[in-house]
Amino acid sequence: MITIDVSSRRQVEMIDVTEQVRESIRQSNIQTGMAVIFTPHTTAAVTINENADPDVVSDLVMELNKIVPFDDHYRHAEGNSAAHLKSSLVSASETIIVDGGAPVLGTWQGIYFCEFDGPRRRKLHIQVIGT
């Protein structure tokens, strides 16, 4: 398993980690298989989406904030219930096919670490499994 550090600067932020994941897969020396990307944080997530137009990420953040508002009379005492809900909606992990020692992604796809309770320093685990 390879672990990378991710630092966010805003409360809600999507950070492109595609190149770090690509490098982790390369370092594993596995040519064919799959990579599981997992964040062990209950207020963060991982997703795959377009990385060509930054407006896509802005739109995703905007709409997630509308769907799950920061203040909605939540009962959780820490005040970060919205972050927990967003994490569950998006998911704590992604599984990606590995072929030729690289992640199989579409032309416009990137891998994002999603911060919902930042700014913070986080961990992202990558487990590459050969077939």
The structural domain count of the chain equals 1
Instruction: List the one residue out of 100, 97, 93 whose CA is nearest residue 126.
Output: 93
Q: Output the domain CATH number for residue 125.
A: 2.60.120.460
* Residue 77 confidence (pLDDT): 86
User: pLDDT of 67-124, one tens digit each?
Assistant: 999 999 999 989 999 999 999 999 999 999 999 999 999 999 999 999 999 999 999 9
Q: Is the peptide bond before 119 cis (omega within 30 degrees of 0)?
A: yes
Range of the domain at 29: 2-130
For residue 48 the two structure tokens come to 């795959």
* Residue 39 confidence (pLDDT): 98
Instruction: List the one residue out of 22, 39, 24 whose CA is nearest residue 86.
Output: 39
User: pLDDT of 2-55, one tens digit each?
Assistant: 999 999 999 999 999 999 999 999 999 999 999 999 999 999 999 999 999 999
